[in-house]
Amino acid sequence: KTILQQKLPSGQTLEICQGDLTAMKVDAIVNAANAHLAHGGGVAAAISRAGGPAIQQESSAWVRSHGPVSHAKPAYTSGGNMPCKYVIHAVGPVWGSGQEEEKLAAAILGSLALADELKLASIAFPAISTGIFGFPKELAASIFMQTIPEYFEDQPHGTLRQVMLVLYDTPTLTTFCQAFKEEF
């Protein structure tokens, strides 16, 4: 369900939604993954469950051939049984690991760049790092609101038209709506 929507100066639409990321009919959903793509808990486990065994199998194969996933260069797999075509596996920072703000921005930018590389039109993000990884929600929300428009200012010729932020729990939704209203 769309709660807030804004057309960016660069022409793309940014939306805040509440709901389950795994049900989104978009070209790619972004996973809040770890470097080893071991999808143990949180939204990663929900994606593994909804997508079926292909998600963990393709993820493990990716790590075997490319090594651990960095913040700036996300991995991707198919969407398995989910409506999305791809899952982009982005690695956010663990709060307390240092340079967390830069790392979260890198994960967001890397996901958008990969979506453009795959020639996708729509992408949906969860609130990366704000669950198990302990990143403060308010700070994460403001980084999302700043980083997404910045990406499109720098990369105006990509294929992406629609970016959704899909928030699951009400406190996170409220925090992201607040940051959205402050930014736009």
Q: Which residues contact 117 (CB under 8 A, 6 or more apart)?
A: none
Applying CB under 6 A, does 111 fall inside the site for ligand AR6? no
Query: Which of 4-12, 37-45, 68-76, 112-120 is the region at the interface with ligand AR6 (rule: CB under 6 A)?
Result: 37-45
Measured CA to CA, the distance from residue 117 to residue 149 in angstroms comes to 18
Q: The tokens of 167 are what?
A: 């928030």
Measured CA to CA, the distance from residue 100 to residue 84 in angstroms comes to 29
- 124, 159 contact by CB (below 8 A): no
In the list 3, 46, 72, 121, the residue contacting ligand AR6 (rule: CB under 6 A) is: 46
The three-point CA angle 5-10-16 to 5° equals 20
C-beta of 91 vs 115, nearer to ligand AR6: 91
What is the nearest approach in angstroms of ligand AR6 to the Cβ of residue 157? Answer: 30
C-beta of 3 vs 38, nearer to ligand AR6: 38
Q: Which residues ranging from 150 to 169 are in contact with ligand AR6 (CB under 6 A)?
A: 166, 168-169
Ramachandran quadrant class, 64 (left: phi over 0; alpha: psi -120 to 50; beta: rest): alpha
C-beta of 19 vs 155, nearer to ligand AR6: 19
Query: Which of 1-9, 27-35, 70-78, 153-161 is the region at the interface with ligand AR6 (rule: CB under 6 A)?
Result: 27-35
List interacting residues with ligand AR6 (CB under 6 A): 20-22, 32-34, 38-44, 46, 92, 126-133, 166, 168-169, 172
